[in-house]
Structure 1
């Protein structure tokens, strides 16, 4: 699978050595002629959202752990909130659908407008972005595996095993990568 679309996942292959993406799982939020944008799901920081004045009011809305996640190396001073609606037909003001119930929350919207509307939410500092043909080139070079996303991927209490768990559910030989050692040369 090499076609990318919002809601899909990119999983870093063992050959991808860029420290921003080693063993990362990236949720794609946008993919069009202007480029591709996503957030890294498995990089929680130690910074509680409650300590960030501009977004602290969203703390009670967040899924545990209520920390800021490192979404990627681009625009790390900005924040992107990714959420899952309880009901796809009840989209509150300030929510932009990415795929089905998955979407992006405008953090300038009053928190009260989302009361009871969300199953979960995470806030990411920065994002990962690619020019229109750049990501396809990286996939063809073997830097990324492309996989379907699942609802549970976004809201895990402990995202450290996310890469292996997503790989484990892939079809055929791709699932074998879930058991690869960190350094195959030591095997």
Structure 2
């Protein structure tokens, strides 16, 4: 099998042409990408469920808006914690994924990580692709691949993240941010 260039830590931004309702205007942070497949979380799908409702010990550490996010259509009954921790060393219970972004062991005591956390988001479920599946979708033009910024994980206005991420790109991608929600109304 040919080696896949890792996209870990990058963002997948859904193109307006992507027809899957699970990913309409989604911004996905790739947490793992190799020749065995890909795994990420959708950063802009807040739910009405508060972190305190399902993971009370972590509620005080969760960033605004303090709700659980739907990380994707796979394993909605499982929770993933993603946190930004500045600096070179992370605390016990945190595994660096890319740059300052890492995964939190939600079984660890929150007080171990609390002082070090820059931000924390809790995701129910994840987005996953089998070997070659994401590459095929990229080839079909379903996703834009762009650099992530640590603030993307903790955006206080996740409902605007799709437009924000596109707007900061150069050239034609910045123009896509103005694409109407329903082009037929144009």
- What TM-score bracket applies, with the shorter chain setting the length? over 0.9
For 1:47, the equivalent position in structure 2 comes to 49
Structure 1: tracts of 5 or more residues without a match: none
Report how many residues are paired.
Answer: 182
Gaps of 5+ in 2: none
Any residues of structure 2 matched to 1:1-187 within 5 Å, and which? 4-52=6-54, 55-89=55-89, 91-187=90-186
Q: Distance in 1 between matches of 2:7 and 2:136?
A: 16
Instruction: Tell me the TM-score normalised to structure 2 length.
Output: 0.94
What secondary structure does 1:20 align onto?
Answer: helix
**Hey, what's the Cα distance between the residues in 2 that align with 1:166 and 1:51?**
30
**What is the RMSD of the two structures over their aligned residues, measured on CA atoms?**
1.1
Distance, in Å, in 2 between the alignment partners of 1:36 and 1:18 is 17
Once the two structures are superposed, residues 127-182 of structure 1 have per-residue CA deviations (whole angstroms, 9 ceiling, x without a partner) of 00001200010011011111100111111111111101111111111211011112
- Where 1:63 maps in the other structure, the secondary structure is coil
Moved over 3 A (4+): none
Query: Is the CA contact (8 Å cut-off) linking 1:94 and 1:109 kept in structure 2?
Result: yes
Q: CA deviation at 1:4?
A: 5.0
Give the TM-score taking structure 1 as reference length: 0.93
Range moving further from structure 2, 19-28 or 150-159: 150-159
Query: For the Cα contact (< 8 Å) 2:6–2:34, is it kept in 1?
Result: no
Deviation at 1:66, TM superposition (A): 0.9
**CA gap 1:43/1:24 in 2 versus in 1, 3 angstroms:** same
Mapped to 2, the partners of 1:88 and 1:158 lie a distance apart of 28
Between the aligned partners of 2:142 and 2:114, the Cα distance in structure 1 is 40
